[in-house]
Structure 1
Amino acid sequence: MAEGENIVVETAEKIFADLADAQEVNRDKQGQWKAPLWQALSEAGLPLAWVSEEHGGSGASLADGFGVLGAAGRFAIAVPLAETMLAGWLLAQAGIASPNGEMTVAPASPRDRVISNADGTLSGRARGVPFAKAAKHVAVIANGADGAVIALVDAAKLRIEGHLNLANDTSDTIVFDKVEPITAKPAPNGFDQTTLMLMGGVVRSLQIAGALESMLDISVRYAGERVAFEKPIAKFQAVQHNLARLAGESAAALAAATSAADTLASGTAPDDAVFLEAVSAKIRCAEAAEKGSAIAHQVHGAIGFTIEHILHRFTLRALAWRDDFGSESYWAVELGKRIAARGADELWPLVASR
């Protein structure tokens, strides 16, 4: 890990530890913890970490930002930090300056489309957009007659239908009814909606991997403290087996997510390699979220399902993040199509090159 990444991640972790402790957040039913946390993150320049200083950000590297996102996953942060970072990154691709405040991106699903009309307005529907209700602005990638367009939109001009995901975080539907953006510019050559989906998938993979690390830590600690039949349940072979399986799922998710993040951060891998890394990470991390959450709750028994226990903050978010920017089933099909198109002789060289 580079020295700069250490500083950035340590700063984020200190803020999370001070202002987003899972126990304190779980007891705060009014959500009063969110404003101080967002203010501290903003003062540290983390929401716009991927935006250059020229365009209003802090100019951190992709690797720095990925490290912050892994830390955010370990704390199960329920504010639009990842979404604002992703929005700033998207706007920066077209040289659009990022405004202050919470942002999100649209579409958040590869199956949805936003169209850039001939008059410059935007039309379409984007479902499952995280934190759209909380966002002041939305960064949009739209399909235009001459290629992809990246636009910044005032959230107040949009019709937003509120919905909740598994973790009770907002996951809303945005309706673009000939909305005029604040500004819109052509996307770089080769940059399209799939590019955004792949980047979003890596972001969610890192968050899932971070959440799984915390699930493992919480479960190991609980198993060592919980006594049954006059000894800690961690002494029972069945519990040890489950904890080993959870550790395996956590390690596999972390390896897949960090490999994809390193590939994107290097900026030198060919398109097929980026696709393989990003899609594989999303598929593997989504699978790990399902298996790991089940194991963690099994270790905890009934107490893990209660609203008073912090476990649900991690398991439900990991499960909810599976569907953002394409589910594992969607990407599994797309990966199969890409491999089939390359032909049998090209499969092993591609896999072995990673």
Structure 2
Amino acid sequence: MTPEASRATRINDFVVKFANVNGSGSASANRLFARSILRMGVPVASRNIFPSNIQGLPTWYEVRVSEAGHIGRRGGVDLMVAMNPQTWDQDVAEIDEGGYLFYDSTRPMPRSKFRQDVEVLGLPLTAIANERYGDPRQRQLFKNIIYVGALTELLGIDTAAVEKLIAEQFKGKDKLIAPNVEALRLGRDRARAEIGQIGLRIRRADAVGDRIFLEGNNAAGLGAVYGGATVCAWYPITPSTSLAEAFDKHCRRYRVDPVTGKNRFAVVQAEDELASIGMVIGASWNGARAFTATAGPGISLMQEFIGLAYFAEIPAVIFDVQRGGPSTGMPTRTQQSDILNCAYASHGDTKHVLLLPEDPHECFEFGA
């Protein structure tokens, strides 16, 4: 970085972007990073920018830190965590002037790959992981936690808050807690010794209020619990699968009889989408509040049953988590591709109520 370039200095108001390889186990580490900032009383808004289709392709995760509570994308990046050589040039170009580039410096990079107006922060993450771990899978997974540990030092994040989150995340799998905490501290200590703190800082605040950290599918699943749903019949299909899984998780916390220990809910994985909507209609006919979660191809298969529910006046709720393209489409791309198909689903003169949430808050409200 040239001496005349201005180094970004901000407190509780900046953007961190992670450039990773899909299937590397980075998603949980990146969420851990975002949640740790929230635990320090500072609101964050995180999102997958362009999730990939298959293992090995690029994926990005952006975290906007905003004590003021802004949740929209600001534009620009103050700190890029570049972990994917395939997208290096694109990722480096996206950093704002005076920003920071954090990368794995195990393999030397030519000077032409860096920008003069960006401060470069290199740490040999792969070498650190290889020195400590023998198993190849462990090396990759713990490398992610090592870079989270390094970021805690660079940004001034309370390590104790992250360690508490790790303990919560692996509750019931206690043997995983100590190795993850060790990897976290390993990254923190190396960053402290070789880099130090930067101009971007996380300072404890009390600005989170009653916010919680969750994505749209999770919010919709929780909303269904609050709305009184007791039956979920579904067939796994990306990107809706996590909604049914979230409903099951929340029901196991809130819908188990404290006296008998019996479940007061039913989650049924059907053999296909046709069976799932049929089960929903049957459960609703019997008086239960029931729903299914699917995507565009599932909606196509459910047309006849949707018509049955409409003309028989049997209430049925369908969460359509849309994905791009016709037929099987592109499962991990999002697109508003099913609106007309859902509005007039089935054969004959049918018109269905559509609720289109704009954020996780509305996902919860509409789910309830």
Decide: shared fold, TM above 0.5. Answer: no
Greater helix proportion: 1
Q: TM class, shorter-chain normalised?
A: under 0.3
Q: Which protein shows a greater Rg?
A: 2
